[in-house]
């Protein structure tokens, strides 16, 4: 069995979508969902899906190796960031080489970097009058949103679109492609 650990800080709709996609999969399962926020809605979703969770503090992530040990002990094959807002520390990247991926709701390298997440990204797209946006799935390195790109897909931004409209279009593409990219990576097809 190939095992996924998902890190999420907020709502967790991507986490849920990924968990549902792999629910009855032959050789891939979502083993653990981790969050840095005790009140993140993703934890409620995990409970409903009967997936174990682990909540940690920033201090635990940056100043201990507890999370790394937990992931290694659980034999996690792939770490999937899904709306996770803290920078992944170097020691974790070293322990999981080419095995940590992230999704970003824009066409990187546009609109990436610290503080660029969720609605803030879509706000900028509207402010700049962009005619298209999209999603990016990429490997994680020690800088925000800079690891090599695995997949991108685009959608049009139409006149009159609101932040919510853009967020919805991004989410639709995320739900469609993130599980498939994960499946390909864990099957050695990417």
Query: Which residues are marked as active site?
Result: 104
How is residue 29 written in tokens? 């399962």
Distance, CA of 20 to CA of 42 (rounded, Å): 13
- Nearest distance, CB of residue 32 and ligand GAR, angstroms: 16
Please give the C-alpha separations between residue 88 and each of 66, 134, 162, in angstroms, as whole numbers.
14, 23, 31
User: Of the ranges 44-52, 59-67, 68-76, 98-106, which one interacts with ligand GAR (CB under 6 A)?
Assistant: 98-106
Q: CA–CA distance from 36 to each of 79, 97, 100, 176 (Å)?
A: 15, 22, 17, 26
Which residue sits closest to ligand GAR, CB atoms considered? 83
In the complex, minimum distance from the CB of residue 76 to ligand GAR, in angstroms, rounded to a whole number: 19
80 part of the interface to ligand GAR, by CB under 6 A:
no
**97-126 burial string, b = 16+ CB within 10 Å, else e?**
eebbbbbbbbbbebbbeeebbbeebbeebe
Q: Residue count at the site for ligand GAR (CB under 6 A)? A: 17
Is residue 34 a contact residue for ligand GAR (CB under 6 A)? Answer: no
State yes or no: residue 54 binds ligand GAR (CB under 6 A): no
Q: Does 179 help bind ligand GAR (rule: CB under 6 A)?
A: no
Interface pattern 108-127 for ligand GAR (x via CB under 6 A): ---------xx--x------
């Amino acid at each position: 069995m190939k095992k996924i650990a998902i890190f999420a800080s907020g709502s967790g709709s991507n986490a849920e979508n990924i968990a549902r996609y792999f629910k009855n999969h032959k050789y891939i399962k979502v083993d653990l969902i981790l969050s840095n926020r005790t009140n993140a809605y993703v934890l409620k979703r995990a409970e409903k899906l009967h997936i174990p969770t682990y909540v940690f503090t920033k201090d635990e992530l940056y100043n201990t190796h507890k999370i790394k040990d937990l992931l290694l002990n659980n034999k996690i094959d792939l770490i999937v960031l899904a709306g996770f807002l803290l920078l992944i520390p170097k020691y974790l990247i070293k322990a999981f080489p080419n095995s940590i991926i992230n999704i970003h709701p824009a066409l990187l390298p546009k609109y990436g970097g610290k503080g660029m997440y969720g609605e803030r990204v879509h706000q900028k797209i509207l402010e700049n009058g962009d005619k298209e946006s999209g999603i990016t799935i990429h490997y994680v390195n020690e800088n925000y949103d800079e690891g090599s790109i695995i997949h991108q897909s685009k959608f049009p931004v139409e006149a009159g679109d609101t932040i919510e409209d853009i967020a919805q279009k991004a989410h639709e593409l995320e739900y469609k492609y993130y599980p498939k990219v994960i499946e390909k990576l864990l099957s050695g097809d990417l």
